[in-house]
């Protein structure tokens, strides 16, 4: 007798699609136009979704496949699209990501790109990087990390030692990237941070619209990554094969892996690696920022100690936030993600093993139906995550602290600072003030003095 298998439809997913992550990563490379090999609807959806968070225009090219291409293949449209992008944008790089359609019909994109170069390649032809990103497998984080790895594999060249440090910061906000660059400048160390969309997705007001905004990791810096002193990759749940592992295996660049530097412990680990690689001490500005953060924690602990939180979003963001919450006395009671790296639960347990804190419910591969169902028995004080949790927050009258991506119902999502001691300070103030405001709002008399 055949065993019955019950499937449950996803309700308000806690993840995004893989090509979207690749498009974001490609946007962080200088002179790059992201290009989706698939239907026009994919590119349109992703542009709209990204614009809503960053409030910046983003062009994503498409091979615009239709029904007949599902039968005969999308090669001709891919080549035509690459010619059109080259003629209109004059990019330095085109980042080609596949989609569900092209992966399903079996288009051999690397072969098609070789054919394109043979047929149309000239001295003016831009560099082309390809990454496989089927939407039905993985999340936007697999797409993001895959695009970074593919770009390094296909653009890095043998180089002389150059005393630089490679920073692979993961998917963080534009403000986070600016802050990491500030930290590297405080260490007075030359570096290559990749990807860098701090300007390309959070730029200044301009009179004329540039087809390709300035900024991004320079191509020549990516080419020289093989000569770096070392690489630091941020993320506990990174895949086994990354840009950093490629540079280490192929060129002998020592790789260090740390978590996203959120909160004191994880930031300490990040700066310890910097000290180890550079031979420099912690800059005074950072020492003082760390001290002010600890002072603020002492001042505000009475408002938040013992509060219970649900944390959701990308795996590594949730891990970093969980570490930070445990430092300030908030109990994460549910850590949830739509990702399925296989490393999420182990990482959560590891960061909490030295803290006097109960292990929360840990769930990967979930949607918001699952999160709401689990939350009913947890007596929750706050939600911490992106805007997709707003419906649950409103329905349950539980305050939502917005972090990560996407933030579609507030301005400034791209300017939220999560990382470093400064980021922890801002998160601490935001969380504490949200708790105080919620208490004021629920009070029958209110109060105006803490």
pLDDT at 405 (0 to 100): 97
Angstrom distances, CA of residue 324 to CA of 256, 264, 364: 21, 7, 20
What pLDDT does 3 receive? 61
* Domain spans of the chain, in order of start: 18-152, 165-278, 289-442
Q: Do domains 18-152 and 289-442 have the same CATH topology?
A: yes
Pick the CATH number of 289-442 from 3.40.640.10, 3.40.50.1980, 3.30.1300.10, 3.40.50.920: 3.40.50.1980
Tens digit of each residue's pLDDT (9 = 90 or more) over 391-448: 999 999 999 999 999 999 999 999 999 999 999 999 999 999 999 999 998 888 877 7
Determine the 3-state secondary structure of 129 from DSSP. Answer: strand
Alpha carbon distance 151, 174 (integer Å):
20
pLDDT of the residue at 70: 78
Given the candidates 3.40.50.1980, 3.20.20.70, 2.170.130.10, 3.30.310.10, the CATH classification of the domain at 165-278 is 3.40.50.1980
CA distance 37 to 63: 5
CA distances 25 to 5, 12, 40, 394, Å, are 37, 24, 20, 33
Measuring CA to CA, which residue among 208, 201, 256 is closest to residue 233? 256
pLDDT at 7: 57
SS3 label, residue 362: strand
CA 137 from centroid of its chain's CA atoms? 17
Tell whether the torsion through CA atoms of 392, 395, 396 and 402 is positive or negative.
positive
Architecture of domain 18-152: 3-Layer(aba) Sandwich (3.40)
Q: List, for the chain, all residue ranges whose pLDDT scores fall below the cut of 50.
A: none
């Amino acid at each position: 007798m055949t065993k019955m298998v019950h499937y449950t439809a996803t309700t308000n997913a806690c993840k995004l699609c893989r090509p979207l992550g690749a498009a974001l990563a490609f946007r962080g490379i200088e002179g790059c136009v992201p290009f989706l090999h698939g239907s026009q609807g994919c590119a349109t959806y992703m542009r709209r979704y990204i614009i809503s968070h960053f409030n910046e225009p983003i062009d994503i090219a498409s091979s615009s496949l239709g029904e007949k291409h599902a039968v005969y293949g999308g090669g001709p449209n891919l080549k035509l699209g690459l010619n059109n992008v080259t003629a209109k944008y004059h990019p330095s790089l085109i980042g080609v990501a596949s989609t569900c359609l092209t992966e399903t019909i079996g288009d051999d994109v690397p072969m098609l790109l070789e054919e394109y170069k043979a047929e149309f390649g000239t001295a003016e032809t831009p560099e082309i990087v390809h990454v496989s990103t089927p939407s039905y497998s993985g999340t936007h984080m697999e797409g993001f990390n895959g695009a970074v790895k593919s770009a390094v594999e296909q653009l890095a060249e043998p180089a002389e030692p150059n005393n630089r440090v490679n920073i692979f910061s993961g998917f963080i906000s534009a403000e986070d990237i600016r802050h990491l660059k500030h930290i590297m400048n405080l260490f007075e160390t030359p570096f290559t941070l990749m990807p860098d969309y701090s300007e390309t997705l959070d730029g200044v007001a301009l009179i004329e619209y540039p087809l390709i905004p300035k900024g991004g990791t320079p191509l020549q810096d990516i080419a020289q990554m093989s000569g770096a002193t070392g690489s630091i990759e941020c993320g506990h749940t990174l895949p086994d094969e990354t840009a950093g592992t490629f540079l280490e295996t192929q060129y002998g660049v020592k790789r260090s892996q740390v978590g996203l530097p959120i909160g004191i412990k994880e930031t300490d680990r990040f700066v310890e690696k910097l000290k180890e690689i550079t031979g420099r001490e912690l800059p005074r500005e950072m020492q003082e920022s760390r001290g002010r953060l600890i002072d603020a924690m002492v001042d505000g602990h009475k408002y938040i100690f013992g509060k219970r939180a649900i944390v959701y979003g990308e795996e590594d963001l949730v891990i970093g936030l969980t570490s930070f919450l445990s430092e300030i006395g908030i109990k994460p009671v549910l850590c949830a993600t739509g990702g399925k790296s296989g490393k999420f639960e182990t990482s959560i347990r590891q960061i909490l093993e030295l803290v006097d804190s109960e292990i929360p419910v840990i769930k990967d591969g979930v949607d918001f139906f699952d999160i709401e169902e689990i939350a009913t028995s947890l007596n929750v004080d706050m939600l911490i995550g992106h805007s997709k949790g707003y419906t649950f927050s409103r329905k349950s009258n539980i305050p939502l602290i917005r972090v990560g991506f996407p933030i579609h119902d507030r301005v400034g999502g791209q300017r939220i600072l999560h990382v470093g001691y400064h980021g922890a300070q801002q998160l601490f103030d935001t969380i504490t003030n949200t708790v105080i405001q919620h208490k004021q709002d629920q009070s029958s008399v209110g109060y105006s003095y803490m």
